[in-house]
Amino acid sequence: MVPFRSFFEALDLNAEFDNKTKTVTAKNETTTVTLTAGKMTGTINGKEIKLIQGPSLSDDDDLMYVNVRFIAEAFGGIVGFDKSTLTVTLDFD
C-alpha cells in the first residue's frame, strides 16, 4: 500500500480526491481508475473489478493508501517482487 497522491504523481497521472465520498479517480489518456476507501471493488474504464486489498484512509496521517499492484497493472505496468531483498519493482516500458 502506498499513498495515492504521491504514487499517482510519480506515474504522471491526473488524480482527484472526493472527500465527501472518499473516492480517488486517476486518469491518463486511455485509462480511468476509481477507488473508494473501504470498498473491495474499484473500476477501470467503468468496469467493476474485485480487489484483493481495498484502499484505506490512515488515521495517523490523513492519507489514502492504495494497492501498488492494482494501480500499476491498471495503467499497463508490470510488477515484480524480489523476496530476498523485499524489493518491489515497477516496469512501464
Q: How many distinct structural domains can be found in the chain?
A: 1
- Can you give the pTM of this predicted structure? 0.87
**Joined grid coordinates for residue 46:** 467503468
51, 64 Cβ separation under 8 angstroms: no
What CATH number does residue 74 fall under? 3.30.457.10
Which residue(s) pair with 79 in the sheet? 90
Show the domain range for 79. Answer: 2-91
The residues with which 50 forms a beta bridge, in sequence order, are 41
Query: What would the grid cell of residue 76 be?
Result: 499497463
pLDDT of 48 over the 90 cut = yes
Query: Whole-angstrom Cα distance, residue 55 to residue 3?
Result: 10
* Separation between Cα atoms, residue 10 and residue 3, nearest integer Å: 11
Confidence of residue 62 (pLDDT cuts 50, 70, 90): confident
